[in-house]
Structure 1
Amino acid sequence: MVLITGIAALSLNVILPSLPSIAEDFDADYAVVATAVSGYLALTGILQLVLGPLSDRYGRRPVLLITGAIFLVATAGCLFAPNIAIFLACRMAQSAVASGLVLSRAIVRDMVPPREAASLLGYVTMGMSIVPMIGPMVGGILDETFGWRSVFLFSLVSGAAVLALVWADLGETNARPSESLVDQFRQYPTLLGSRPFWGYALTASFGSGVFYAFLGGAPWVASEILGMSPSELGFYFGMPAVGYLVGNFLSGRYASRVGLTGMMLVGGIITALAVAIVAGLFLAGIAGPLGFFSAMALTGVGNGLVLPSANAGVVSVKPDLAGSASGLAGCLMIGGGAVLSVAAGALVGSSAGALGLAWLMLASAVLSVIATLDLRRGNAL
């Protein structure tokens, strides 16, 4: 579970320090190249609407194997792309690896009840958080040493290793596959009409939205305002992942005792306070690399508390629809993340600058807390 979610996280963020190099190599506008992140996120969200029901109908294992193979072909296409159009097309196809994100939640829920699922997901994502911690660091070093294409060679080798492990070691956990894929899609209104589902899904979406907005705007802020090199950016990008690691560890230890909404509320408040610190630093004109990324590390702690419990709640509202629920919630999370990523990129490039990015992240954090409070007023797990 750690590795299949980790390879999806690696594919998203390992290229972040290389975006300026890719734009220069293809002689393309940075805004166009940035769709390698925002477009990837958008397609990842759409795919999760399909991957969840497919896994409920045909099983988790075959979906993971097929999407893993697609990811390898697409990564090879990025590695050898002769122009920006082919590069972006292959980059979008890489989003097939999103199956690791959506199905890991369903696989865990297949095996254990809600509170245990939150605890187990905390430990799974704690291990997985190592990947976004080292991914940008490795990407930045590879870019400066061998060029940006070496980043995709690294992804290709890593993806092949994970696919081989899934083939050899992952058994099927969906003991009760649905009888019809059409009937499976027809179950979506059941989820959409569930207030608890929306509470958990919106908490996760707005909570993770803070990080996606950060992904969209931080590379520009780091290079243009803070004057950081790709390797420096890769190093500092690991700090939010360190915070996420800590938050996941705490979720693993305490989620089964505190409960899902309790963990979500504490995490949401920590995230909002951390982003308020970011806004204060830029308002005071004293933001530097260490201060900016240290505050973002604290948002990582908050997300590490929020997301395991929110994701466990999502797949527990209707246990027989765990794959579909995970896919639908993932679509909301990633799709919303894509919107926030694009908005952040536009804001930092405008007169709003870094402060605009901070306000956008703060709004997302506050909305996450509001969603949790509304959920606590109803029936929550």
Structure 2
Amino acid sequence: MTTVRPFDSTTPPHILTLVTAAGTAAIAMNLFLPSLPGMATYFQADYGIVQLAVSLYLAATAILQLGIGPASDRFGRRPVMLFSFAVFILSTFAAIYAPTIELLLLCRLFQAFAAAGMVLARAIVRDTVGTDEAASRIGYITMGMTVAPMVGPVIGGILDELYGWQATFQLMLACGIVAFIVVYLDLGETNTHRSASMTGQIRTYPELFRSRRFWGYSSAAAFTSGAFFAFLGGGPFVATRLLGLSPSSYGLYFAVITVGYALGNFLSGRYSRAIGVNRMMLTGNLIAVAGTALSILLFWLGYFHPLSLFGPTFFVGMGNGISLPSANAGVVSVRPHLAGSASGLGGALQIGGGAALSVLAGAFLTMQSGPYPLLFVMFLSSLCAVVSTFYVIYVARQAGEL
């Protein structure tokens, strides 16, 4: 493997560069979550409309990944990453001054270009190491990038209370500029076998479609992350409207799930090589199922307290942190020569499913429904992830890989 030299754009990037790139996408996803109720008041819009700032971002992320992956296989990881962050910076600047909720939602669509940080970080890792090592490194990368979403809602809630929702977007803008500079200075090209054409690379999708393991890993990743994305869509309503939390308090409680996610990422990075990706996926998903079931039980027993929601989601976060790095490593390793395309397509399925679950969780939440629509969506998503993992294990056994 080529020697990594910090801030040398002719060598593969340092892992902290990949953390910064992936973390910017995470910040754009959840930094402003505590501001959603306040944004509804500012724009005089229904909460369901304002909540589209989450679900539309996720949907746009899913669609963009279909192009980002193949584009990086054709033109290289470095130029695609830089272009994507430039679009993110411009759209974030425009969002700060959006006069209507419609224009803000349009800016959120273009902010989704930050997804290149997550997509290409996985592909860059797979460019340089094997499957189990990739799962380990992806685990460490996601563990590092959880620092951003861990403190993001906390800072976002405080900024919202002090200066209004625009302050959270101003912080996003600063993070985007920093990420662009770091990538420019440190990201060396790792794609040494570029495809002949963009359309030719997209035509390789059928090869991925024919792979049962690709579908197994992709569906496992989609349902695993679906529980978290459902929480992103419905959590602010449950926390602020049903449990009476302030934006800053919501941000503090939100740190519980990201601490769990960071712990899960650490365990993935530490043990993936020894245990294997399939067993790590199964372990993490079973933990997430147990976490959501516990939350349902606590509310059913009458414990309407923030810890009844956020306490069990610690285990949802930990389960996701254990299983997602392995699922993503499996996605990009089914066809190593199509790592970028596989990362983009798999990411699109993962984020697209998450966007749908985010809308579903938010659509059925009312003051009368209580938190149960959100919790049942999270439980069923985690349960489907377990089923998908068993399917991957079954296919692997048929192929004589276990």
TM-score, normalization by structure 1 = 0.98
Cα distance, 1:82 vs structure 2 = 1.5
1:29 partnered with 2:59:
no
Comparing 342-351 with 55-64, which one deviates more in the overlay? 342-351
Cα distance, 1:300 vs structure 2 = 0.6
Residue 189 (structure 2) aligns with: 172
CA distance in 2, matches of 1:291, 1:22: 26
Give ranges in structure 1 of 5+ residues lacking alignment: none
1:334 partnered with 2:351:
yes
Residue 310 (structure 2) aligns with: 293
Residue 227 (structure 2) aligns with: 210
Cα distance, 1:225 vs structure 2 = 1.2
- Asked if structure 1 preserves the Cα contact closer than 8 Å seen for 2:217 and 2:330, the reply is yes
Cα distance, 1:291 vs structure 2 = 2.8
Residue 115 (structure 1) aligns with: 132
Residues 275-322 of structure 1, C-alpha deviations (whole Å, 9 max, x = no match): 100111121121311232011011111001100000000000000000
Cα distance, 1:190 vs structure 2 = 0.6
Correspondence list, 1:223-242, <5 A? 223-242=240-259
Correspondence list, 1:58-97, <5 A? 58-97=75-114
Correspondence list, 1:287-326, <5 A? 287-326=304-343
Residue 164 (structure 2) aligns with: 147
1:187 partnered with 2:209:
no
- Asked if structure 2 preserves the Cα contact closer than 8 Å seen for 1:347 and 1:353, the reply is no
1:57 partnered with 2:84:
no
CA distance in 2, matches of 1:335, 1:227: 30
Residues 2-47 of structure 1, C-alpha deviations (whole Å, 9 max, x = no match): 0100000000000100111111111111111111001110010000
Q: Could you tell me which amino acid in structure 1 is paired with residue 77 of structure 2?
A: R
- Asked if structure 1 preserves the Cα contact closer than 8 Å seen for 2:222 and 2:354, the reply is yes
- Asked if structure 2 preserves the Cα contact closer than 8 Å seen for 1:126 and 1:244, the reply is yes
Q: Could you tell me which amino acid in structure 2 is paired with residue 266 of structure 1?
A: T
CA distance in 2, matches of 1:185, 1:350: 46
Residue 142 (structure 2) aligns with: 125
Residue 63 (structure 2) aligns with: 46
CA distance in 1, matches of 2:356, 2:330: 24
Cα distance, 1:99 vs structure 2 = 0.6
Residue 11 (structure 2) aligns with: none
CA distance in 1, matches of 2:143, 2:303: 32
Q: Could you tell me which amino acid in structure 2 is paired with residue 127 of structure 1?
A: G
4+ residue runs over 6 A deviation? none
Cα distance, 1:175 vs structure 2 = 0.8
Cα distance, 1:86 vs structure 2 = 1.4
CA distance in 1, matches of 2:241, 2:369: 14
Residues 102-136 of structure 1, C-alpha deviations (whole Å, 9 max, x = no match): 11110000010000000011111100111110110
CA distance in 2, matches of 1:76, 1:35: 19
TM-score, normalization by structure 2 = 0.93
CA distance in 1, matches of 2:392, 2:297: 30
Cα distance, 1:101 vs structure 2 = 1.1
**Secondary structure of residue in 2 paired with 1:171:** coil
1:357 partnered with 2:400:
no
CA distance in 1, matches of 2:305, 2:370: 15
1:196 corresponds, among 213, 236, 250, to 213
CA distance in 2, matches of 1:209, 1:320: 28
